[in-house]
Amino acid sequence: MRDYTLAAGEEFDLSMRRCGVAVPPDWSSGTWYVHDELHAMAKLLRQCRPAETEPAFLFDILRICSYHPGKE
Amino acid sequence: MNRPVHELSVREIGSALRDGRLRSTDLTRHMLGRIADLDGRLKAFILVTADRALEDARRADDELARGIDRGALHGVPYALKDIYDTAGIPTTCNSRLRWNFVPDMDSEAERRLRQAGGVLLGKLNTHEFAIGGPGFDLPVPPARNPWNTACFTGGSSSGSGAAVAADLVRIALGSDTGGSTRSPAALCGVVGLKPTYGLVSRRGMFPLSYSLDHAGLLGRSVDDVALTLNVVAGHDPEDPSSAQVTPVDYASGLGQGLQGLRVAYARDLFSGVRGLSPEVPDAIDAAARALVELGATVEEVQLPDFDLFKACGRIIMCVEAFAIHESDLRTRGEEFGRYTFQRIAPAGTLSGADLVQAFRLRRELTLAVDAVFASHDVILTACAIGPAASLEDFPLDWPPPSAAVAVQTVPFNVSGHPALALPACFFANGMPLGLQLVGRAFDEKTLLRVGAAFEAHARVGDRRPVFVSS
C-alpha cells in the first residue's frame, strides 16, 4: 500500500532532488509509484543476502557455464 | 502461386525468386503497397524506406540474374525496430530527444542483413528508448494489434510484432531487455526469439541496459527466424559483449522431431502470478501434453521465485538506463515521454550497493536456471499471463494494471539463456496466446527444433488476423 502521507511525499521529493532530477509536477504520481516499487525491490534483494561473495557480470557467468563452447 | 506473396515463407520466397516465378522488385512493391494500405491503422512503421527498398530489390534481382546468390535472405524484405542504426536513415528511438538523429554507420545486424541481400522496408515503431510504454505523447503513437486494433501489441518491439502479424513484412528485428521481443510475439501471435546473450551483436543498437540487452528476431515461423539467425549470429570483435562462438546452421534439423528430448516444465514460474488468466495454465498444460505426444519427456521443475528475477532484472535495467540517460533526465527531462521518464528517473535514487546486490543475486539465479539444463534440454513456461489489453486500459501515469503488461520473460534476460515465444492457441476472445521455451546457453539449435515441432503440431501460425476494431 502506498504511503501518501506528507512525510512520505517530502522524502520522495528530497530523494529525487538529491539525484539531481526535477520531476515535472504533473508527472509526480507515476514517478513516485516507480520510486517506491524500485526501493521495495532493492529491499527484497538486501533481504536475500546472496551467498556468493562476488557479483557477476553476465558474460562471465555464461563463460563459466559448462555449455559454453569455449569451456570444453 | 496460390497464396498472396505476403503470406509466403522465407523459403518459399527464395524458391520463387530463384526459379523466376517472382522478382524481388515485384514482391517489394507489393509489400510497400500493403504497408501504404494498412499501416495508417496499425502504426507499425515509424519510417518506410521505399526508395531504399526498391534499390535493394533491384540489386537483388540483378545479382540473381547474374548468378550471384547471397543465401536465404537474398531479395527478402525485412524491417528493423527504430533503435538499430541505419546509415543515412533516421534512427529515432521514437523519442523527441533523438528525432533528428541520422547515423553515419549501420548497426552490425543491419550490415549483416544487407550483406545477405535483404531488402529494408523501413524502421519499426517502438516504445521510447525501448522502455516507457504505449504512450500517446510520443512522436509516433502506439502500434496497434492486428488481431484487434483497439488492443496493445506488447512491447517494446511493438511495431515489429504488429508488422509481422499483419504480413507487412515477413521478418523483423526487435530487441529484448526484459521481454521486449517475446511480449509482442506472444500478444500478436508470431514467433519471437531472444538469442543467448552475446550471440548477436548489439553494436549500433541504442542501449537500454548494457548487461540485459539482447537483439530480438521476430518472424511468422520458426524456420523464418532460424534462417534470419543464420545471418545475424556470430562474433563481432567491435562489440565487447559479443561471444566468441562459431555459429551453426540453426535451420537444419528443424524437422527432426523430439524423440529422446527432455523438457523441464517451469509451471511454478507463472501459476501463482496475480492477474493470471485461467486460460494460460490450461494452454501451457496442453502444450506440455503435446510435447509428450511428439516424443519428449516432460517433468515439472522449480526455478527460484519469479519475484527475485523481477527485482534483480528491474534494478539492473533501471540503474543502467538511468546511467545512459542521466544527463538528459537532469537537463531536459520534460522532453521524454511521460512513461519513459516515470520508469527511468527514480532509478537515480538507488544506491551503488543496491546494484551490486542485484549482480550478486544474478549469479545465483543464473546458476539455478543453468542447473536445470544438466538434466533437461529445454524449459517450457508461459509468456504473457493474459490476452492483449485494450490501449484504453493504460492510464496517463505509470503503472497500468499488472495484467496489461505482465510477462514471464525477464528471468532469461537475467540469466542470458536463449528464449523463444511462439503461438500456442487463442484465448476465448480470439486474441493469441503464446508459450515460452528456453534453451541452454548457445544451444539455439535444440530450442528452435522443439519450437518447430510444436509449431507443426499446433498449426496456429497459419491463422491470420482479420482487422477488427472493438
CA distance B410 to B407: 8
Q: Which pLDDT score, from 0 to 100, does residue B1 have?
A: 64
Question: Grid cell 557479483 — which residue?
Answer: A55
Question: Grid cell 495508417 — which residue?
Answer: B40
CA distance B285 to B66: 52
From the list A15, A50, A58, the residue facing B364 with the nearest CB is: A50
* Å between B202 CA and nearest CA of chain A: 14
Cα angle B177-B179-B180, degrees, rounded to a multiple of 5: 75
- Which of B461 and A35 is assigned the larger pLDDT? A35
Predicted confidence (pLDDT) per residue in B26-73, tens digit: 999 999 999 999 999 999 999 999 999 999 999 999 999 999 999 999
pLDDT bucket at A59, cuts 50 / 70 / 90: low
Contact by Cβ (8 Å): B186, B192: yes
- According to DSSP, residue B255 is labeled T
* Å between B119 CA and nearest CA of chain A: 33
Q: Which pLDDT score, from 0 to 100, does residue B403 have?
A: 80
Residues from chain B that touch A70, judged by Cβ atoms under 8 A, are 244-245
For residues B31-60, one letter each, b for 16 or more C-beta atoms within 10 angstroms of the residue's C-beta and e for the rest, the string is bbebbeebbeebbbbbbbbbebbbebbebb
CA distance B178 to B320: 13
**Across the interface, do B342 and A31 touch by the CB < 8 Å criterion?**
yes
What ipTM was assigned to the predicted interfaces of this complex? Answer: 0.94
Q: Residue B5 corresponds to which cell in the numbers above? A: 506473396
In sequence order, what are the residues at sequence separation of 6 or more whose Cβ sits closer than 8 angstroms to the Cβ of residue B331?
Answer: none
C-beta atoms surrounding B361 within 10 Å: 28
Q: Is the pLDDT of residue B210 over 50?
A: yes
For the residues B155-161, what does the mean pLDDT come to? 97
What CA–CA distances, in Å, run from B1 to A54, B30, B462? 59, 15, 17
Q: Which pLDDT score, from 0 to 100, does residue A70 have?
A: 41
Q: Which pLDDT score, from 0 to 100, does residue B469 have?
A: 53
Contact by Cβ (8 Å): B51, B29: no
CA distance B336 to B450: 41
3-class DSSP assignment, residue B424 = strand
Catalytic residue, chosen from B24, B95, B107, B156, is B156
**AA identity, residue B398:** W
From the list B198, B342, B356, the residue facing A55 with the nearest CB is: B356
Interface probe for B, chosen from A17, A21, A53 (most Cβ of B below 10 Å), is A21
Q: Which pLDDT score, from 0 to 100, does residue A69 have?
A: 42
Catalytic residue, chosen from B81, B123, B194, B445, is B81
**What is the share, in percent, of chain B residues with pLDDT greater than 70?**
99
Kindly report the pTM of this predicted structure.
0.96
Question: Grid cell 507463472 — which residue?
Answer: B270
Q: Which pLDDT score, from 0 to 100, does residue B303 have?
A: 97
* Å between B345 CA and nearest CA of chain A: 7
Select from B280, B189, B226 the least CA-distant residue to B447. Answer: B226
For residue B188, the surrounding DSSP H or E stretch is helix B182-188
Residues from chain A that touch B212, judged by Cβ atoms under 8 A, are 58
* Radius of gyration (C-alpha) of chain B in whole angstroms: 21
Contact by Cβ (8 Å): A45, B354: yes
CA distance A39 to B356: 14
**Across the interface, do B399 and A59 touch by the CB < 8 Å criterion?**
no
For the residues B255-283, what does the mean pLDDT come to? 95
Predicted confidence (pLDDT) per residue in B408-454, tens digit: 999 999 999 999 999 999 999 999 999 999 999 999 999 999 999 99
Alpha helices (H) in B43-124, listed in sequence order? 50-65, 108-115
Q: Is the pLDDT of residue B170 over 50?
A: yes
For the residues B174-198, what does the mean pLDDT come to? 97
Poorest-confidence range of A59-68, B60-69, B88-97, B281-290? A59-68
* Å between B211 CA and nearest CA of chain A: 7
Q: Which pLDDT score, from 0 to 100, does residue A9 have?
A: 79
In sequence order, what are the residues at sequence separation of 6 or more whose Cβ sits closer than 8 angstroms to the Cβ of residue B43?
Answer: B125, B140, B141, B142, B143, B144, B159, B162
Catalytic residue, chosen from B24, B160, B175, B180, is B180
**Across the interface, do B339 and A30 touch by the CB < 8 Å criterion?**
yes
For the residues B151-157, what does the mean pLDDT come to? 97
Residues from chain A that touch B354, judged by Cβ atoms under 8 A, are 42, 45-46
**Across the interface, do A51 and B364 touch by the CB < 8 Å criterion?**
yes
pLDDT bucket at A56, cuts 50 / 70 / 90: low
For the residues B132-151, what does the mean pLDDT come to? 95
φ, ψ (nearest 5 deg) of residue B293: -60, -30
Poorest-confidence range of A53-62, B125-134, B227-236, B321-330? A53-62
**AA identity, residue B124:** L
Q: Which pLDDT score, from 0 to 100, does residue B402 have?
A: 83
Contact by Cβ (8 Å): B211, B320: yes
Residues from chain B that touch A21, judged by Cβ atoms under 8 A, are 329-330, 333, 345, 348
pLDDT bucket at B398, cuts 50 / 70 / 90: very high
Q: Is the pLDDT of residue B212 over 80?
A: yes
pLDDT bucket at A1, cuts 50 / 70 / 90: low
CA distance B93 to B140: 10
For the question of residue B351 being annotated catalytic, the response is no
From the list B329, B357, B442, the residue facing A46 with the nearest CB is: B357
For the question of residue B81 being annotated catalytic, the response is yes
Contact by Cβ (8 Å): B349, A39: yes
DSSP labels, B91-102: --TT-GGGTT--
The distance in angstroms from the start CA to the end CA of chain B is 34
**AA identity, residue B240:** P
Poorest-confidence range of B1-5, B204-208, B246-250, B264-268? B1-5
**AA identity, residue A25:** P
Task: Report the chain B residue with the minimal C-alpha distance to residue A20.
Answer: B330
* Å between A14 CA and nearest CA of chain B: 10
Q: Which pLDDT score, from 0 to 100, does residue B32 have?
A: 98
Select from B437, B464, B396, B457 the least CA-distant residue to B195. Answer: B437
**Across the interface, do A15 and B349 touch by the CB < 8 Å criterion?**
yes
pLDDT bucket at A71, cuts 50 / 70 / 90: very low
Contact by Cβ (8 Å): B347, B420: no
Predicted confidence (pLDDT) per residue in B213-266, tens digit: 999 999 999 999 999 999 999 999 898 888 888 889 999 989 998 999 999 999
Q: Which pLDDT score, from 0 to 100, does residue A65 have?
A: 43
CA distance B241 to B269: 28
For the question of residue B123 being annotated catalytic, the response is no
Residues from chain A that touch B443, judged by Cβ atoms under 8 A, are 67
CA distance B321 to B239: 19
Alpha helices (H) in B233-305, listed in sequence order? 268-271, 279-293
